[in-house]
Every structure is written in C-alpha cells, then in structure tokens.
Amino acid sequence: MVPMLTTASTVTCPHAGQAVLVTSNTLSQIDGAPVLLQSDVNPIAGCTFAPGGVPTPCLIIQWVTGSLLMRIYGIPVLLQTSVGICYNAAQVPQGVAIVVQTQQKGRAI
C-alpha cells in the first residue's frame, strides 16, 4: 500500500518549482485535504529552468499514472509513486515531478 497524494502534499518540478495542488475531487479527503486525481493538471510556480540562459520554466504537471484500484468519479487517485510530467509553455516535457512529502494515513494500490 502506497500513500495517496492530497492538496496538502508537496510536489516540485525537477528545478525546484512548487506545484500548486488543486483538484476537482469534492468527495474524498484525508485530514481535511482533498485527495488528488490522475486527471488533475497542477500549475507550477517558481521554476528557474533556463538552459543556455534562456528561461523555459515548468508551468504545469500532467499526471500519467495513478492507483490501479482506488478511484473517485471513476478516475484513479494519485499515489506517492504516481508519475507526473512537467511541461513548459510550449508543451515541451521538462522532466518528472518529484513528490517531496505526503500524508501517511490513507493508502492505496
């Protein structure tokens, strides 16, 4: 069993930008924080990625994996092991999101 992600979790882009964790889920919470869904698209603030001096910051995370069994509205919930891809304004992949911290009470597969 793996911890589920909630709006109180901490997720960053590979360049230390902070994800703003919002969700369309209004049914399920853990410790008062809504559980995130694979369909959620989370904005990123503060990415400093600038290869060759050209700023191309990560702006959003699109999640590509979620729970195999636990669903809300028929959509997989996000887990600590879920994979999210960070994209810049041109929709170019910038790397994989990093789950820094999450709750430990609610778990799923």
Beta bridge partners of 94: none
The pLDDT tens digits for 18-66 are 999 999 999 999 999 999 999 999 999 999 999 999 999 999 999 999 9
- Identify the CA nearest to 97 among candidates 23, 5, 28, 29: 5
Geometric angle at alpha carbon 38, from 91 and 26, rounded to 5°: 120
Provide the whole-model pTM: 0.94
Structural domain boundaries in the chain? 2-108
Domain 2-108 has CATH 2.60.200: yes
Per-residue pLDDT at 109 exceeds 80 = no
The 3-state DSSP class for residue 52 equals helix
- Kindly state the tokens that stand for 93: 């992949």
Residue 108 three-state SS: strand
